[in-house]
Amino acid sequence: MDPETQHIAKVMIDRNTNCNRVQTLVEENGLLSRRTCYQQVDEVDFPRLTLDNLRDITLGVYQVKQAPSYTKEHLDSEGYEMMLCQDLPDLLKVKIQSRHSKKAVRSLWVQYSSEREEIRGWYCTCKVGARVVGCCAHVANVLWYLSYKRHTEYVATKNSPSSMFLDAATASGRFSENDSLEE
C-alpha cells in the first residue's frame, strides 16, 4: 500500500470513533430552527485552504473535482445564502440547493478559525451530512468555494474531468482556454 493510501486509511480509522461535534452543537443549542440568532452576510473571513487540505477533509479527490461544476450552478442561480451565528461567531450556516433535486435545500454548518486557518468541523442536514469520515458533497462544495476558489484563479482544462465547466465558463467569457486545472 502506498504512503498516501496508508495515511488516508489511518485518518479514516481515527475519525471513525469521533462524534460530529458541530451536529451536537447545532442540535443542543436549537440552531436547526432558531432563525433570530443568524445574521446574513455577503462575505466571511474564512480560512484559506490548499487542495491538499481539502483532500484531507474529504478523504479523496472525488468531491473536490466535482466542486467547480457544483459551484458554477450555484453562482449562476441564487448563489450561497450565508449566515453567521451571533451566539457563536465561528459558526457559519449556509443554505445550498441539492444537486439532485431543485426543490431540496440543504442547511449546513461549518465551524472554523480564521486566525488558525482551520476547519474545526461541519454538519449538513442531508442523509450523510453528519459523517466525520470525509464529508458530504454539500459541505465539500462550500469549503472548496469559500476556502479555495475565491482566492485563486481556478478553472478546468479540456483534458480534465471538469472540461464541461471550462466550456460553460469560456462561453460566458469569464475564463480563457489557456487557463489550467491545478491537480
Mean pLDDT by 10-residue block, N- to C-terminus, for the chain (183 residues)?
Answer: 82 83 94 86 91 88 83 74 92 84 84 90 93 90 91 54 41 40 41
Q: What are phi and psi of 149, to 5 degrees?
A: -60, -45
Indicate the SS3 state at residue 94: strand
The x, y and z cell numbers of residue 60, run together, are 479523496
Bridge partners of 39, per DSSP, are 84
Strand order of the β-sheet with 105-113 is: 38-41, 81-85, 91-97, 105-113, 118-124
Provide the CA 164 distance to its chain's centre, in angstroms. 20
Distance, in Å, from the CA atom of 163 to the CA atom of 155, rounded to the nearest integer, reads: 9
Q: What are phi and psi of 123, to 5 degrees?
A: -155, 135
Task: Name the burial class of residue 81, with classes exposed (0-12), middle (13-18) and buried (19+) by CB atoms within 10 angstroms of its CB.
Answer: middle
The CA distance from 110 to 142, in Å, is: 9
Would you state the pLDDT for residue 77? 66
| pTM exceeds 0.85, yes or no | no
pLDDT at 173: 40
Q: What is the pLDDT of residue 153?
A: 66
pLDDT value, residue 118:
92
- Strands 81-85 and 118-124 come out as unpaired
Q: In angstroms, rounded to a whole number, what is the distance separating the alpha carbons of residues 151 and 161? A: 22
Phi, psi (deg, nearest 5) at residue 12? -60, -45
